[in-house]
Amino acid sequence: MKILLTGAGGFIGSVFTRAAVAKGHQVAGLLVPQEPVPSGLVENRNTRWLRGTMDEAPWNEIAEFAPEVCVHTAWVTAPGVYLESPDNYKFLESSIKFLRKVNENGTNHLVGLGTCIEYQIGNQKLSEDTTPIAPTTTYSRCKNELRLVMQADAKRHGFKCCWARVFYPYGPGEHPSRLCSSIIQKLSRGEQIVLKTPNSTKDYIFIEDLAEALLTVVEKQFEGEINLGTGIGISVREIGDTLAGMMGKPEAIQEANPPEVDPLGYVVADPSRLLRLGWRPTHDIAVGLQSLLNRWQERLAPRTND
């Protein structure tokens, strides 16, 4: 299968590319000018790197590649910034124009990445069939708006449209400020960690499992909305305790007294729809965190001059 991928150099995009190429698919990844090629992904007969942006895309090269599906992962994602960044509006506008052009050029399956926080958050698992949509941030509202536009365009023009809502990916390659990596770095420096929202429970999905889930959606040519999550809720306290135990510093984890209230206190997928496609996760939280820890220990290890 020929896959056009936006955000190819990102956390999700780069791992998805590896998964797709490993299964014999061809990927044309869009990289912004000057963005480095993801580590270990040289250009070959199954991997092609296209330089440009959604606003100034290399349309001749895209036409030559003739993608069968476009997987759209590009968006603003910097921790502490993305939820209310005005760049969300820019990505919304650029995404609509880009995806419409892709479809006009003959690609009849478009896959957009949404977010679990499009849902109305409560204390139940989030279901595509029954949970109301109620985005409360600029990020989630813009994502939801893109979904509505894509679905309306698909109905009007007859192409296949998939909206895949991503839950909480983690693993090697994640931003250093994300929860798991932040805890590892603080523990490595010998710092005490006070968890502000220890009971906050999320659906953490290992990045390689997420890439395989997204690839399953592509290969099955799925249409409609689908959750990319495990269905297992893990608390911040569990993550902190697990990492501290692995690093031999169980006493370093403390809780705020009283803890803060997390408005997104329970965000866990109902993954039934994804499971019916045949996907299964291969990394539980302990295995995933150990993999991330190993990567950080390699990175933080002192270098010696041979």
Question: Is there a domain that residue 88 lies in?
Answer: yes
Instruction: Say yes or no: 40 and 70 in one domain.
Output: yes
90: domain range? 2-169+206-228
Query: Three-state SS for 137?
Result: coil
273 belongs to a structural domain: no
In this structure, the answer to whether residues 59 and 84 fall within a common structural domain is yes
Residue 43 lies in a domain: yes
What are the counts of helices (DSSP H) followed by strands (DSSP E) for the chain?
A: 9, 14
Q: Are residues 111 and 152 in the same domain?
A: yes
Task: Select the more confidently predicted residue: 239 or 45.
Answer: 239
The alpha carbons of the chain give a radius of gyration, in whole angstroms, of: 20
Answer for the pair 213, 16: CB distance below 8 angstroms, yes or no: no
- Considering the domain boundaries, does residue 276 fall inside one? no
Count of domains forming the chain: 2
Taking alpha carbons only, the member of 134, 5, 147 closest to residue 70 is 5
Question: Would 141 be classed as within a structural domain?
Answer: yes
Answer yes or no: do 243 and 196 share one domain: yes
Same domain, 253 and 294: yes
Which of 105, 5, 92 has its CA nearest to residue 47? 5
Element (H, E) at 78: none
DSSP letter assigned to residue 36: P
Instruction: Give the pLDDT score at 41.
Output: 84
pLDDT mean over 23-47: 91
The closest alpha carbon to 29, from 12, 44, 57, 7, belongs to: 7
- When pLDDT is cut at 50, 70 and 90, the band that residue 303 belongs to is low
Question: Does 18 fall in a domain?
Answer: yes
Compare 299 and 107 and report the one with higher pLDDT. Answer: 107
Give me the mean pLDDT over the 163-184 stretch.
97
Per-residue pLDDT at 306 exceeds 60: no
Q: In this structure, which amino acid lies at residue 141?
A: R
Could you tell me if residue 196 is inside a domain?
yes
Question: What pairs with residue 44 in β-bridges?
Answer: 47
Residue 115 near residue 165 (C-beta atoms within 8 A): yes
> Are both 80 and 106 inside the same structural domain?
yes
Residue 301, pLDDT above cutoff 80:
no
Let me know whether 149 and 81 are in one domain.
yes
Q: Are residues 13 and 35 in the same domain?
A: yes
Are residues 47 and 127 located together in one domain of the fold?
yes
The answer to whether residues 161 and 177 belong to one domain is no
Residue 143 contacts residue 96 (beta carbons within 8 Å)? no
In a domain, 152, yes or no: yes
